[in-house]
Amino acid sequence: MKILIINAGSSSLKYQFMESEGGEVFAKGLCERIGIDGRLTHKVPGREDVKRDIPMPTHNEAIQAVLDIMVDPVNGVISSVDEIAAVGHRVLHGGMAFTASCIIDDACIEAIKKCIPLGPLHNPANLMGIEACQKIMPSTPQVAVFDTAFHMTMPPKAYIYAIPYEYYEKDDVRRYGFHGTSHRYVSARAIDMLGNPEHSKVISCHLGNGSSLAAVVDGKVVDTSMGLGPLAGFPMGTRSGDVDPTILEYLMGRYGYSIKEMLNILNKKSGVLGISGVSSDFRDLDAAAAGNERAALALDKFIYEVKKYIGAYAAAMGGVDAIVFTAGIGENSKDLRYRICEGLDYMGVKMDAEKNSVRGKEADVSAAGSKVKVFIIPTNEELMIAMDTAELCKK
């Protein structure tokens, strides 16, 4: 089935048009500066990229621009919008309502709206993308795929926070976790690469701009590092990961920050950017680390915290069969992968440094005789969204 995948942000919208079986990508692109002026970048494999300034006061014009370029006689890939069998939307927060993807109807929209307080930055934008598609292509089925859904199998001891229980009961405060679509894809591939054993324990490391780990037993998440929101876990590009809440009170008192300002610091100015003062991009940190102590410290901190999570999840699962690296850093940085696995021999992790010298393709990089397999698996969230969308639409 030919599926259009939409990932709508507040001022941008990414799209990909692909075949759900086999995953062939026909076209993909990006609408930027929605609500400001509007720019479209459209990419078709084997052709030159098309860039156009198109007014996009709202997401409606952005979706219209995407459909127009898709059927454009020169730059397009289809002759009619009817060739789009369905639209799959990436939605950040599904709260407790969604344990799987779902067909978008009025009830689904209401449930996504109810999750806005849990995902205040993303869910409203995701909804704008959905509503624009409903308006512009009313007869095309739409599906919502949630970043949180794959994590909903966590047991209570993993998702409950040790605060008064009423906040869980009345206000849905609990660990949700994110990057679920990516963890689902790579952990399933890892289980395949292990030879589909009846039982498996996988640690999935999604290391990108935002990063999270998931512990996956027999294909089901039992723990993950992000929490109620994506700020939790270990340090990322610009996010702090877990911090002692006392820091908030202390700094807000000293500098008079509002909670909004404080959270902006933790979301946008922290992580490896905050420690290094150099960059949130690990390539810049790698380049700077030799002559810059703080850049080196930022990398040390990141590696140390990821390593601690791997140890914690191995303990939580009572062992591990495979560790998977994915996303920008996980797929591309051999040094970070190597340093994360260094010293884990005691738990049966032995990486083959030579095999580890690959970038961006599936590989088993464990040394001969390593009890634990180390895999690199490029993530493919779009394929997961396309497959879910096709499956739900066939039903």
The binding site for ligand ADP (CB under 6 A) comprises 208-210, 237, 281-283, 286, 327-329, 332-333
Q: Which is nearer to ligand ADP, 13 or 317 (CB)?
A: 13
**Two structure tokens written together for 135:** 């308006």
Active site residues: 147
Please, what is the minimum distance in Å from the beta carbon of residue 172 to ligand ADP? 25
Q: Which is nearer to ligand ADP, 131 or 284 (CB)?
A: 284
Q: Which is nearer to ligand ADP, 86 or 376 (CB)?
A: 376
Q: How far is CA 162 from CA 156, 158, 166, in A?
A: 11, 11, 11
Q: Report the SS3 class of residue 204.
A: strand
- Residue owning tokens 């990961």: 241
Q: Which is nearer to ligand ADP, 306 or 329 (CB)?
A: 329
Q: Which is nearer to ligand ADP, 44 or 327 (CB)?
A: 327
**Two structure tokens written together for 292:** 């810059």
Please, what is the minimum distance in Å from the beta carbon of residue 48 to ligand ADP? 23
Torsion of Cα atoms, 337 then 342 then 346 then 352, to 10°: 70
Please, what is the minimum distance in Å from the beta carbon of residue 39 to ligand ADP? 19
- Pairing outcome for strands 50-53 and 86-91: unpaired
**Two structure tokens written together for 269:** 């100015």
Please, what is the minimum distance in Å from the beta carbon of residue 22 to ligand ADP? 23
Q: Which is nearer to ligand ADP, 365 or 392 (CB)?
A: 365
- Pairing outcome for strands 322-326 and 220-224: unpaired
Asked if 19 contacts 1 with a C-beta cutoff of 8 angstroms, the reply is yes
Task: Give the number of other Cβ atoms within 10 Å of residue 101's Cβ.
Answer: 24
> What is the residue type of 48?
E
Q: How far is CA 371 from CA 158, 194, 344, in A?
A: 26, 12, 11
> What is the residue type of 164?
P
Please, what is the minimum distance in Å from the beta carbon of residue 214 to ligand ADP? 15
Number of C-alpha atoms within 13 angstroms, CB side, residue 19?
8
> What is the residue type of 301?
K
Q: Report the SS3 class of residue 328.
A: helix
Please, what is the minimum distance in Å from the beta carbon of residue 92 to ligand ADP? 13
Q: Which residues pair with 31 in a beta bridge?
A: 13, 40
Chain residue at closest Cβ approach to ligand ADP: 328
Residues 6+ apart with CB under 8 A from 73: none
Q: Please work out, in degrees rounded to the nearest 5, the angle formed at the alpha carbon of residue 138 by the alpha carbons of 137 and 143.
A: 85
